[in-house]
A and B are shown apart, each in its own frame.
Chain A
Amino acid sequence: MATTITMPQLGETVTEGTVAQWLKSVGDSVDKYEDFVEVSTDKVNAGVPSPVTGTIRELLVKEGETVATGTPIAVIDEAGAAKSAATEPPAATAASAPVAPIAAVPAAPAVSSPNGAPAAAGSESVESESALRGASPAVRRLAREHRIDIRAIKGSGSNGRVTADDVLAAVTAAPSSPATRTSTYAQPIPGSTVTLTQARRIIAERMVESKHTAPHAWSMVEVDVTDVWSWRVREKDRFERESGYKLTLLPFFIRAVVESLAAFPLMNARFVPASGSGQPSIYVNAEVNVGIAIGLATNLVVPVIRRADKLSIKGIALAAGELIEKARKGKLGVDDLAGGTFTVNNNGANGSWASAPIINGGQAGIVTMEAVVKKLVVRDDDSLAIRRMMNSCLSLDHRVVDGYVASGFLADLKQRLERMGPQGDL
């Protein structure tokens, strides 16, 4: 337990006292009744005995400084008393900084020690640690979002507390920002700086990392989806009635993808770079976990259908429906996002006809579904037919596979899709 020592009243009419000399430094042990400070008043000079046996934790007043009687001047940790677990800093910071004060220091008086540097450095981190401890949830969130160090902000709240407005003021005042105006990603304002959310920052970092480390190659096939489309149309009303989810082409496509991945296991693999003594290698994944790229207004999420190869089209449709709904509601959990081994991007909703996606880091490829469009096609027997056609684009990590495997995979995928429907069991 910590005991706070206040400036004693040395005489009935005395209202203030001056710390003439600290007889102990921070970290020194002190015995009960042992003088630890010398105080002078206009009447007397006197040593002040410690009321407890323990260790000096903090000296709150400088030598030569005059303070009113009753003002806290030092904090002593009582020997043998258990420290309050709730207010202890976590072990990691405890290792690098002296123990922070348990009681908030009123108005954070300047702290120093007669012995100079070490204690001064200690007291600085003492102040900053208490700034962190008093931070409200809103302050912590804003500081995290804007990557602001709370300890660097001067608080304007009661007892010097850093308020949410202080954090926002620090954001606009940040000298690193090229523009003085800021806006949000959802509502960008021309001539302003958009502060990245955590999610946006991670997306940016991952995209750069993937594009820089994995040499991307690209290929595309055109798929006749007329029959699988008819199959979907036949099933969609009943499926929606029974499950509440819309039946899109996505689960059919994913089913074909997982079958093709089984035929081309290298497409369901990842490149493992050289590390330390280890040589570079390729790890062929045991599981087939298919990520679905879902674009939201402010970010991109790729929830994962785990063991998609074990699921029927219906099973995939249910899993995908659930994940998409969670994504839109912002309810995806860590488990929903982890463990993907290959990614499918349904890119055609707005009419895109071809795209070159960036591989999700740690995977060998990503395949897209582009827009389904009716086309006049020349069939093998030279007859003309109106068919629903869809391009499917593949980006691959050229360290893992070459064009030979990739084009084989795409051809296989095309064949499987074209063989699906016009009827069957979901």
Chain B
Amino acid sequence: MAVVSSANSTVMNNVEAVRATLYEAMKNDERTVILGEDVGARGNVFLITKDFIGEFGERRVIDTPIAEASIVGIAVGMAMEGLRPIAEIQFADFIYPSFNQIVGEAAKIRYRSNGEYTCPLVIRTPYGGGVRGALSHSVSIEALFYHVPGLKIVAPSFPDDVKGLLNAAIDDPDPVLFLEHKKTYRLIKGEVPDGHYTIPLGKANVRKAGTQLTVVSYGLYLHWALEAAQRLQEENLSVEVIDLRSIRPMDKTAILNSVEKTRKLLIVHEDNKFGGIGAEISAMVAEEALFSLDSPIRRLCGPDVPSMGYALPLEEEFMSSPAEMADAMRAMVKF
């Protein structure tokens, strides 16, 4: 797909979209603070915050020790006291030490203080596999957090959504976990409108319209699902692909409207199947739209193994593929 910049937009990849949005936020609001491992002098491992420390100073671009609980804990305090911290967990695989700060503290502050305090905190983290990242640079973590009320989770897949949703996450008065699929960082390019704009959290986007099957996905797999759906289009099979964009709040309306139309639902995600996002979507559709379903709901997800291995065959075994997705879609359309 050729993407060309126009008068009012610029072509970027996902990593550039993150960088541009963070830069704007730092520029436009003095309360914005970035903190994390290597975000300062090193300019982040993907060079997202390169040169930020020179321009905004080390009081606003803070290099932290390798201590994730502290990164989030400090950011929670900053947020409660009026700053707009954007905390970075260098890889989602390292988020576990901060679990208590996110789940036990950040997500509960509004409730605990009866609305007196909020926690306008963004936690950004790269996640996902397909980059030979092995056990500690490949994991998907969304299912560990989506059970938690008080926490919003966003997982954009296209550069324009990255910008609009990151802006919305920064504006949001409550904590938002912002997930960036690292394989899409430089793989996915697209036009990004110039200037400040937001995309509402909790709104999905129909990336491809279709009539015979609804596919819900996000992250890298969304792109593969779109590719698979395009292949099926050439076989005259019509698949609708919904980009979930926000994992929580979940856009029930978009999913239900689509399923009412297509009567079939396939959920595709890289995270493990058991207890994953797909389980929640399945349950919701079974509760709300059973009598629209013309086939069993299916999930094509990561296998229930602890991680993808370093060896390429092991990673490939874990990851799905556009071909496998096309097969699953074809079987469901023809069911």
Contacts and interface: CB of A to CB of B under 8 A. Distances in A.
Interface of A: 136-141, 157-158, 161, 163-164
Contacts of A157: 334-335
Given A138-B263, A157-B335, A158-B334, A164 B291 contact: no
A281 B295 CA distance: 53
A190 to B, nearest CB: 25
B43 to A, nearest CB: 53
B335 A158 contact: yes
A164 B335 contact: no
A141 B291 contact: yes
A138 B335 contact: no
B221 to A, nearest CB: 25
A163 B294 contact: yes
Looking at A136, A157, A158, A161, the one whose CB has the most chain B CB atoms below 10 A away is A136
A27 B335 CA distance: 33
A136 B291 CA distance: 8
Interface string B262-306: 010000000000000000000000000011111100000000000
A136 B292 CA distance: 9
Interface of B: 263, 290-295, 334-335
B294 A140 contact: no
Nearest to B295: A136
Nearest to B331: A158
A157 B333 CA distance: 9
A160 to B, nearest CB: 12
Contacts of A139: 294
Nearest to A167: B294
27 contacts: A136-B263, A136-B293, A136-B294, A136-B295, A137-B290, A137-B291, A137-B292, A137-B293, A137-B294, A138-B263, A138-B291, A138-B292, A138-B293, A138-B294, A139-B294, A140-B291, A141-B291, A141-B292, A157-B334, A157-B335, A158-B334, A158-B335, A161-B335, A163-B294, A163-B335, A164-B263, A164-B294
A141 B293 CA distance: 10
B189 to A, nearest CB: 38
Looking at B293, B294, B295, the one whose CB has the most chain A CB atoms below 10 A away is B294
Contacts of B294: 136-139, 163-164
A264 B99 CA distance: 70
Contacts of B334: 157-158
A140 B263 CA distance: 13
B287 to A, nearest CB: 12
Nearest to A141: B291
B238 to A, nearest CB: 12
A161 B295 CA distance: 10
Nearest to A135: B294
A136 B335 CA distance: 11
Contacts of B291: 137-138, 140-141
Contacts of B335: 157-158, 161, 163
Contacts of B293: 136-138
B192 to A, nearest CB: 40
A163 B294 CA distance: 7
A137 B295 CA distance: 8
Contacts of A140: 291
A139 B292 CA distance: 8
Contacts of A164: 263, 294
A246 B311 CA distance: 68
A140 B290 CA distance: 11
A138 B294 CA distance: 5
A158 B290 CA distance: 20
Nearest to B290: A137
A141 B334 CA distance: 20
A138 B259 CA distance: 11
Nearest to A158: B335
A209 B263 CA distance: 37
B69 to A, nearest CB: 45
A137 B294 CA distance: 6
A402 to B, nearest CB: 48
Contacts of A158: 334-335
Across chains A and B, which 6 residue pairs bring their CB atoms closest together, nearest first?
A141-B291, A164-B294, A138-B294, A136-B294, A137-B291, A137-B290
B289 to A, nearest CB: 9
A139 B294 CA distance: 6
Contacts of A141: 291-292
Contacts of B263: 136, 138, 164
A161 B290 CA distance: 18
Given A136-B263, A158-B335, A164-B294, 8 more contacts: A136-B293, A137-B290, A137-B292, A137-B293, A138-B293, A138-B294, A157-B334, A161-B335
Contacts of B295: 136
Contacts of A136: 263, 293-295
A138 B262 CA distance: 11
Contacts of B292: 137-138, 141
A99 B176 CA distance: 57
